[in-house]
Amino acid sequence: MSDTDVAHVIPGQGAVMGGYRISRRSVLAAGLAGGALVSVGGAPALAGKPGGGGGGAAAGHPLPVPAPVAADGLTLTARRTAVDLGGGRTGSALTYNAGCPGPTIEVQSGSTPTITVTNGLDEPTTVHWHGLVVPTDVDGQPHEAFPAGTRRAYTLPVQQRASLNFYHPHPHLRTAAQVALGLQGALIVRDAEEAALGLPAGRFEVPLVIRDANIDKQGTLTYNGRASGFLGGVPLVNGVLNPYLRVDRAHYRFRVVNAANSRVFRLAFSDGRPMTLVGTDGGLLEHAVDLSEITLGNAERLDLVLDLRGLTAPVQLVDRDSGWTLLDLRPTQADVSQTAPVLGRQLSVVERLVGPAQPSRTFSFDGMTAINGVRYQMGATSFQVQRGQVERWRFVANGNPPHPVHIHGASFQLVGRTGGRGQLFPWEGGWKDTFLLLDKESVDILIRFDLVGRYLIHCHKLEHEDAGMMLDFEVVEGGSSPMVAGTADGAHGDHGDHG
Ligand code: C2O
Ligand code: CU
């Protein structure tokens, strides 16, 4: 296999990050120039045409929009089922309720739904409700994985504001494979504040679960990640290749999640039109901001409003790094009477965390397998945090970027970045639970935990996570403790109370 490294340009810096591998030579060798290569164990296969940029406009597949389902009483069944990814053959994938992504789950803030997960896989799994701040025993952490052939009920007290969240498996050592093979989905929290804004709803609100993938000749998702990551040969949006969406002359709301294991997307429209960002991981921003390009790290989410009232010709949502067309928007030319959302005023009030000027903890994401030199060991608790206390945490990276940093158990606010890109970006505003840390960067956050219990910090490049770039900590009532010092392997072994 001959891979071509494609430079990843970061806005505001023009720096190179990561080596994105596209097997162009193999495409040519197969006589399929312009076609997408799906590479499986070295064997190329044609599957769609993601890089078309509008060419072959008649082709493509209608974007599936998983119908929203209410969370309470829902059963999610994880198992291998047949799927049609749009490559011309019906293959298979790991699915939730026969979908990859699974159903879009809706929850009203203030409610306490119970979702039952049935494990129809042939190995343990667990579901983490990424973005929900819920008690530790229903957070779906690795030590809560449950065996094949069993089920688990999650009762989720959802107290947080309206937001788009991301559910996915979290069994230790198997997270990356299970997610890449299809287990992922969107979970939307609704509340009254957001409803009052009159943002586009119904068919004008479209979740976009964006990822890359490898698909074999049978049309089956395959996975061959390495410790350094996994970069699939083709993009999938809501589980299909080369999707298009017929759009009326109206405002649309796109709820975007980067569901890829390792690939960072640099989202833009082919004609450079602005995307109006109204929210991030933890819900609405205070003010909408127009952006022509957004870098979206793994598991980060975006709430975008698009004014398509003047659209007369197709326009594409693209990834500027890979050159892929992700979604082709094709105008119907139909005018729709719709109350235009008022985005020029304050959308929400985001409580500003106030905390220390100096960090009390520093987390170093170096290499691919450890945080602060310590490799994840299930049951080891690295430190304790006091509930209700605002802390300032610093994250630094030295090598093997990008590291999408994710923290369970609380949302946080970014307060500064030095080194690397040297600034914070509009899509890093508001409440966050995941952010992108590039090489040589130092990012400070303010964070406060409101629930006691055991939570996790990890790299959301899922191959890094599985390789051990993850640690457990504990939120306690009264008291805190520093990071376990020195952190040689073994320093942790005595703390475990989980198997
Ligand atoms: Cu989205 Cu601990 O993960
Ligand atoms: Cu990492």
Q: What is the DSSP string of 18-62?
A: S-EEE-HHHHHHTT-TTSPEEEETTEEEE---TT-TTSSTT-SEE
Interval 85-125: pLDDT, tens: 999 999 999 999 999 999 999 999 999 999 999 999 999 99
Distance between Cα 460 and ligand 1 center (Å): 6
pTM: 0.87
Q: Is the pLDDT of residue 317 over 60?
A: yes
Residue 90 and residue 212: Cα distance in Å, rounded? 18
Question: Ligand 1, closest atom to CA 168?
Answer: 1
In DSSP terms, which residues pair with 43 in a beta bridge? 40
Interval between CA 483 and ligand 2 midpoint (Å): 19
Q: Rounded to whole angstroms, what are the CA distances from 37 to 239, 310, 375? A: 17, 35, 35
Nearest ligand by distance to the CA of 301: 1
| Segment 57-82, tens digit of pLDDT | 458 999 999 889 999 999 999 999 99
Question: How far, in Å, are 48, 78, 82, 268, 485 from residue 328 at the CA level?
Answer: 13, 30, 25, 12, 52
Give the CA distances from residue 195 to residues 44, 145, 162, 192, 384, in Å, rounded to whole numbers and listed in that order. 47, 36, 9, 5, 38
- 224 Cβ neighbours under 8 A, 6+ residues apart: 40, 41, 214, 230
Ligand 2 centre and the CA of 129: distance in Å? 20
Q: Which atom of ligand 1 is nearest to the CA of 408?
A: 2
Question: Chain centroid to CA 241: how far?
Answer: 19
Instruction: Indicate which atom in ligand 1 lies nearest the CA of residue 130.
Output: 1
* The total number of residues written for the chain in this structure: 499
Structure tokens at 82: 């047949």
How remote is the CA of residue 402 from the centroid of ligand 2, in Å? 6
Q: Which atom of ligand 1 is nearest to the CA of 434?
A: 1
- Alpha carbon nearest to ligand 1 atom 3, residue: 130
Ligand nearest to the CA of 366: 2
Phi, psi of 15 (to 5 degrees): -85, 165
Give the Cβ contact number of residue 226 at 10 Å: 12
Pocket of ligand 1 from Cβ distances under 6 Å: 128, 130, 168, 170, 299, 406, 408, 456, 458, 460
Average pLDDT of the segment spanning 346-360:
96
Q: Percentage of residues in the chain with pLDDT exceeding 70?
A: 85
Region of residue 271 (left: phi > 0; alpha: psi -120 to 50; beta: else): alpha
Q: Which ligand is nearest to the CA of 436?
A: 2
Strand partners, 6: 20
Taking the C-alpha atoms of residue 185 and residue 379, their distance in angstroms, rounded to an integer, is: 28
What does the block give as tokens for 135? 């008690």
- Cα of 226 vs centre of ligand 2, distance in Å, is 12
Q: What is the pLDDT of residue 430?
A: 98
Backbone angles phi, psi at 205, to 5 degrees: -110, 120
Residue 17 clears pLDDT 90, i.e. is over it: no
CB atoms within 10 A of CB 171: 24
Q: Which ligand is nearest to the CA of 167?
A: 1
Ligand 2 geometric centre to CA of 173 (Å): 15
Ligand 1: residue whose CA is nearest its atom 1: 130
pLDDT of residue 481: 81
Compute CA 93 distance to the chain's CA centroid, rounded to the nearest angstrom: 19
CA of 408 to the centre of ligand 1 (A): 7
Whether pLDDT at 47 is above 70: no
